[in-house]
Structure 1
Amino acid sequence: MPEDVLFDSENRQSRAEVASYLRTFADKLDGDGPITLTAGGQSVTIDPPEQPTFEVKAEREGPADAPGELSVEFEIEWDEEQSGESAESSELSIE
């Protein structure tokens, strides 16, 4: 299925700034309404369902025998027509 990027923002920030953005997003996600993302001249409003699929991925990109780029990705996804069905889950913990 082709991917259509609706919003994209990437910039270097302090750990505290990243944590602040994540807290704000989490607070909005915990509410009932839509969430609007804005950066520069772009904006998108999303409205996640009550039970979206949540994926956490830590990965290292680059050659196997040399230092690479490390990343942690948090992804919340759902079908545009999702009607509350729940997916299988395994417990995630962050320590």
Structure 2
Amino acid sequence: MPEEVLFKSESTQSRQEIADYLRAVADRLSAGEAVSLSAGDDSVTMEIPDRPTFEVKAERETDSSGGNPEKSLELEIEWDENGSSGSSGGSLSIE
């Protein structure tokens, strides 16, 4: 399925700034409110359903020359626009 990017933002931030941002998203999720994102002239508001799929991925990537590896932690919330739910995996814990 082709991907359409509705919004994208990338910037270097402190761990505290990232935690504050994630906390704001978590507060909106807990309250059942839409999540609005904006950066410059770009913005999008997402209505997240009650039971979306939550994907967590930790990766290590190296370039083709085998240079400096880059690690990433990806947190993704996804759902079908028609409201159907995705599959469920094992339970997730963060320690």
Q: Tell me if the contact between 2:54 and 2:75 (Cα under 8 Å) persists in the aligned partners.
A: yes
Runs of at least 5 residues in structure 2 that lack an aligned partner in the other structure = none
TM-score w.r.t. length of structure 2? 0.90
Whole-angstrom distance in 2 between the partners of 1:79 and 1:51: 11
- Residue aligning to 2:7: 7
Q: Percent same amino acid at aligned positions?
A: 53
- 5 Å-filtered alignment, 1:18-57, equals 18-57=18-57
Whole-angstrom distance in 2 between the partners of 1:16 and 1:89: 30
Whole-angstrom distance in 2 between the partners of 1:79 and 1:70: 29
Aligned length: 94
TM-score w.r.t. length of structure 1? 0.90
For the aligned residues, what is the CA RMSD? 1.6
- Residue aligning to 1:70: 71
1:67 partner amino acid: N
Whole-angstrom distance in 2 between the partners of 1:70 and 1:87: 26
Whole-angstrom distance in 2 between the partners of 1:62 and 1:39: 29
Q: Tell me if the contact between 2:79 and 2:86 (Cα under 8 Å) persists in the aligned partners.
A: no
Q: Tell me if the contact between 2:60 and 2:72 (Cα under 8 Å) persists in the aligned partners.
A: yes
